[in-house]
A and B are shown apart, each in its own frame.
Chain A
Amino acid sequence: MARTRIVLAGEGGQGVQSVAKILVEAGYEAGKEILYIPNFGVEQRGGVSIAFCQIADEKIGEPRFSKGDIVIMLSDRAIDRCTTYVSENSTVIYDSSVCTKKPVCNAKSIISVEANKIANEQLSARVFNIIVLGVLLSATNVLQLSDIKNAMEKALGKKFDAKPELRELNYKALEMGMGLIEKAGV
């Protein structure tokens, strides 16, 4: 049975859960079985925020899993907390422009991206998480770009209509994120 298990972890306020919501909404609309658990503490900001997402072709049993196929870490604390979800079959992706260290784990591959740096220098700090969404889309490779765009429209359509340039900015962020993984050759 094809099932992709994703752990997406960062600091509260980085937009981890927003990205996860768009991803799973896209999966649901594409006819996949989905199970998404947001996991966070009591803080409005700060603290580690983790999204456990599963995208599958058949009905999903366990809500929580031990090891992820894709584990994305967007802060030092996320690395500390989420190394436990890495197995030798996992693809680990971390943001080296946020993290001050490299994840130390036995993974299939460990890829560094600089989503935060690209967002700040080339686009806007606000689309950092959308770059991550692009990274995720390419790394998982189970959904189409159009699925994600439709889900983004559902989540952000009103904002896009008020400011059409935001749509372009978000699409650009998404494509740049995808490009980061394609460059890494996953």
Chain B
Amino acid sequence: MVKKLITQDTRMFLTGNEVIAYAANAAEAEFMYGYPITPQNEIMHTWCKLLPKMEAGFLQTEDEISAGFSTIGGILAGKRAFTATAGPGNVIMQDAQSMAEMMRIPFVCAVMQRGGPSTATVIYAQQETRLTCFGGNGEGFRIVYSTAGHQDLYDYMIKAFNTAWKYRFPTFMLADGYQGKMREPVTLYDPASRGIKMVPTVATLGGANGSRPVNHVRNTFNLEEELMEVLDKYQEEFDRISPEIEEYLEYKADDAEILVIAHGIVARSAMTAIDELRAKGIKAGLFRPITLRPLAVKPLRAAVKRAKQVLFTESANGQLAQMVLEKIYGLTTPYSTLYKMGVGVTGDDIVQKVESMVKEPATV
């Protein structure tokens, strides 16, 4: 058992990457595997700096392919392991992430999005939304939390471990370079003090000399039907547990005529904008999906139905919007978009866009 660093509520002024390392320790993580890529490097740096005090482990692998598979190996052997990556690293880790879906590995990964495609920028984006939810050669049997600041990073990193170990679907904390690099105050705490019980770590594979019974975990199938039988079961299970996992946040959405749909840090800019718009007498509100996989479809549909217009805004070209539009099929509320590929969306951006929608309503 690792030593916990945070035993009482502690207010700190940290970067998001530092927060994530502390959160992993609070979640009783024992081992991190990783490969450096900006803007997530300081998760590894901080984890390593804290290692002697935590009595935990770290392995820097030769690339993200290896980091992903090493994480799986550690978990199979009974370690509470995790990894973190970003951008092109997230791309080449997809093979391991798919394997975690197929073999039902409680794989935890923090994704700090940067600009894309390819190397692009090391700064910020929301362009790994689709990749993190549906990457790899599979069906997206993944749980994805999208965070909006440092308190979220701490809360949801802890939650990610519990979700992964409880349901055994790979679980991602989708953040971004702003959240990784920015500094803001945060309260760290011992999960037990919030009534959070950590789901215990158990080895997946059998132990040496019969210490644990043999367990055959498959990711190879001979027949098509054999595969579908397993995947149908996974899908049924994913659908069944979804209502327990789905999370969302509404801000002044009850009577909103213009509903902003945004996730992650952009949702925070939307809240600033909504306050400003409300002060001007414009009834704007926010629907922020916290879980992007699975989406909280029922409340989402209800909010969209109530509104007169919808605005999708993202630091990507509509990656969340595509996922949402599929789920709100049949509703006729018109929508408009404010997409800034790989660039931060400010409160002013949203205020101006909503004001233009008041003057000239969306028709799509």
**Which residues of A are at the interface with B, using a C-beta cutoff of 8 A?**
21, 24-25, 28, 33-42, 60-67
Chain A binder among B99-107, B179-187, B322-330? B179-187
What 5 A-B pairs come out closest when comparing CB atoms? A61-B272, A64-B344, A66-B348, A62-B269, A62-B272
CA distance A64 to B184 in the complex (A): 13
Task: Report yes or no: B349 in contact with A63, Cβ–Cβ below 8 A.
Answer: no
Task: Report yes or no: A60 in contact with B271, Cβ–Cβ below 8 A.
Answer: no
Most central of A28, A35, A37 by chain B CB within 10 Å? A37
Tell me the smallest distance from the CB of A17 to a CB of chain B, in Å: 10
Interfacial chain B residues near A41, Cβ < 8 Å: 121-123
Interfacial chain A residues near B345, Cβ < 8 Å: 64
Tell me the smallest distance from the CB of B140 to a CB of chain A, in Å: 28
Task: Report yes or no: B178 in contact with A63, Cβ–Cβ below 8 A.
Answer: yes
Tell me the smallest distance from the CB of A42 to a CB of chain B, in Å: 6
Q: Please report which residues of chain B, range 247-276, place their CB below 8 angstroms from some CB of chain A when the two chains form the complex.
A: 265, 268-269, 271-273, 275
Tell me the smallest distance from the CB of A52 to a CB of chain B, in Å: 8
Interfacial chain B residues near A28, Cβ < 8 Å: 13, 183, 185
Interfacial chain A residues near B347, Cβ < 8 Å: 61-62, 65-66
Q: Is B336 an interface residue (CB 8 A)?
A: no
Task: Report yes or no: A64 in contact with B178, Cβ–Cβ below 8 A.
Answer: yes
Tell me the smallest distance from the CB of B338 to a CB of chain A, in Å: 13
With contacts A34-B13, A61-B275 taken as known, whether A42 is within 8 angstroms of B122 at the C-beta atoms is yes
Chain B residue, CB-CB nearest to A61: B272
With contacts A62-B347, A65-B348 taken as known, whether A39 is within 8 angstroms of B268 at the C-beta atoms is no
Chain A residue, CB-CB nearest to B345: A64
Complex A-B: 16 CB contacts under 8 Å: A24-B183, A36-B182, A36-B183, A37-B181, A40-B123, A41-B121, A42-B38, A61-B272, A61-B275, A62-B346, A63-B268, A64-B344, A65-B346, A65-B347, A65-B348, A67-B348
CA distance A21 to B182 in the complex (A): 10
Task: Report yes or no: A33 in contact with B181, Cβ–Cβ below 8 A.
Answer: no
CA distance A60 to B151 in the complex (A): 13
CA distance A24 to B149 in the complex (A): 17
User: Which residue from B13, B184, B346, B349 sits with its C-beta under 8 Å from A25?
Assistant: B13
Interfacial chain A residues near B182, Cβ < 8 Å: 35-38, 63
Task: Report yes or no: B123 in contact with A39, Cβ–Cβ below 8 A.
Answer: yes
**Which residues of B are at the interface with A, using a C-beta cutoff of 8 A?**
13, 38, 119, 121-123, 149, 178, 181-185, 265, 268-269, 271-273, 275, 344-349
User: Which residue from B123, B181, B268 sits with its C-beta under 8 Å from A62?
Assistant: B268
Task: Report yes or no: B269 in contact with A38, Cβ–Cβ below 8 A.
Answer: no
Interfacial chain A residues near B184, Cβ < 8 Å: 33-36, 60
CA distance A36 to B183 in the complex (A): 5
With contacts A28-B13, A62-B346, A65-B346 taken as known, whether A33 is within 8 angstroms of B185 at the C-beta atoms is yes
Interfacial chain B residues near A60, Cβ < 8 Å: 184
CA distance A28 to B265 in the complex (A): 21
CA distance A85 to B349 in the complex (A): 13
CA distance A34 to B183 in the complex (A): 7
Most central of A24, A41, A65 by chain B CB within 10 Å? A65
Interfacial chain A residues near B13, Cβ < 8 Å: 24-25, 28, 34
Interfacial chain A residues near B275, Cβ < 8 Å: 61
Interfacial chain A residues near B185, Cβ < 8 Å: 28, 33-34
Chain A residue, CB-CB nearest to B350: A62
CA distance A24 to B185 in the complex (A): 11
Interfacial chain A residues near B273, Cβ < 8 Å: 62
Chain A residue, CB-CB nearest to B351: A66
Interfacial chain B residues near A24, Cβ < 8 Å: 13, 183
Task: Report yes or no: B181 in contact with A61, Cβ–Cβ below 8 A.
Answer: no
Known pairs A63-B149, A63-B265 / 19 extra A-B pairs, C-beta < 8 Å = A21-B183, A35-B183, A38-B182, A39-B123, A41-B121, A41-B123, A42-B119, A42-B122, A61-B268, A61-B271, A61-B272, A62-B271, A62-B272, A62-B273, A62-B346, A64-B269, A64-B344, A64-B346, A66-B348
CA distance A63 to B13 in the complex (A): 15
Most central of B123, B183, B269, B349 by chain A CB within 10 Å? B183
Chain A residue, CB-CB nearest to B343: A64
Most central of A34, A35, A36, A63 by chain B CB within 10 Å? A63
Chain A residue, CB-CB nearest to B39: A38
CA distance A35 to B268 in the complex (A): 12
Interfacial chain B residues near A63, Cβ < 8 Å: 149, 178, 182, 265, 268-269, 344
CA distance A46 to B35 in the complex (A): 26
Interfacial chain A residues near B119, Cβ < 8 Å: 42
CA distance A65 to B149 in the complex (A): 15
Interfacial chain A residues near B349, Cβ < 8 Å: 66
Interfacial chain B residues near A64, Cβ < 8 Å: 178, 269, 344-346
Interfacial chain A residues near B181, Cβ < 8 Å: 37-38
